[in-house]
Structure 1
Amino acid sequence: MRRMNSEAFRHDLMTSKLFLYPPSPLDEFALNNNSTLRVLLDKHAPTKTKKITFRSDTSWVYTDDVRLLKSERHRAERRWRKSSLEVHRQAYADARTRVVKEIRTAKQSYMNTKIAESLKDSNALYKLMFRLMGKTDKDTALPDLDGYQAIVEAFSNYFT
């Protein structure tokens, strides 16, 4: 909506049937108003589809230390973008490096805690390691073949 050409939108609105030939009953006016605005908004500000990536287990990123360093990094970036000074760019680069190091430390600490919690349960440890390697349960599924005989034959053919 911010990049919409408001003059073109206003022109199209003023030359629409809604303004040139306004209906007299209130019900018709409301119906025409909604349909006209919908058509004009679709023309001047079409709906955009955004892809949102779901990150399954990133709770280690949201520690207080990481939050604080990220806000400092954003502050340094805004200062640098506003002034374009080399000193501010270097301050931003240093803040960015601190954030990366803190995230790495937080992730290591989180993973070490998770591993320590699951050391007594080998099944939980296996699932954790499997997930850390980026694998899913679907990766270990049997092939889609008809019956055990087809699986045995495929296995035999693979090794011959």
Structure 2
Amino acid sequence: MKSINILKDSLGNFEILNYEEQNSEYEGMVIQLASNNKIVRSRLAKKTPKKDGYFVAFWEKDNLNINQPFSDLDTPEALVILIDDEGKQGIFFIPKEVAVKNRILSNENQKGKMAMRFYPSWCKNLNSTAQKTQSWQLNYFKEY
């Protein structure tokens, strides 16, 4: 898994608590960081040929086997999105509260998202919607 090396380089040692098979295409897993014992959910984003940015899915099945966004009630402390693109690498480390504020996680007041795009600092010439998204995302991005 490509994401394991990126995670080790950027966050240090960790223990894999769970592979999230429903998002295996994005190397989905839940890990516990050795440095501070934080539990985070990680995904490796994919570059898409026709749109700028990197696409990633994060969802789970409910008890009726229907896809649904992650809930803020049972989500780890952060969402980690990894970018690896021809020598450009970076990591978005999005705290749970920020994921709620930006409507990524569901709660009683909002639906949440099952997928979205992430825009690292090297993404330029974005449309206005993507620029707005990038402006908050970059506060949580580190390039490697």
TM range (shorter): under 0.3
Larger Rg: 1
TM-score, normalised relative to structure 1: 0.17
Structure ranking higher in helix proportion: 1
Structure with more strand by fraction: 2
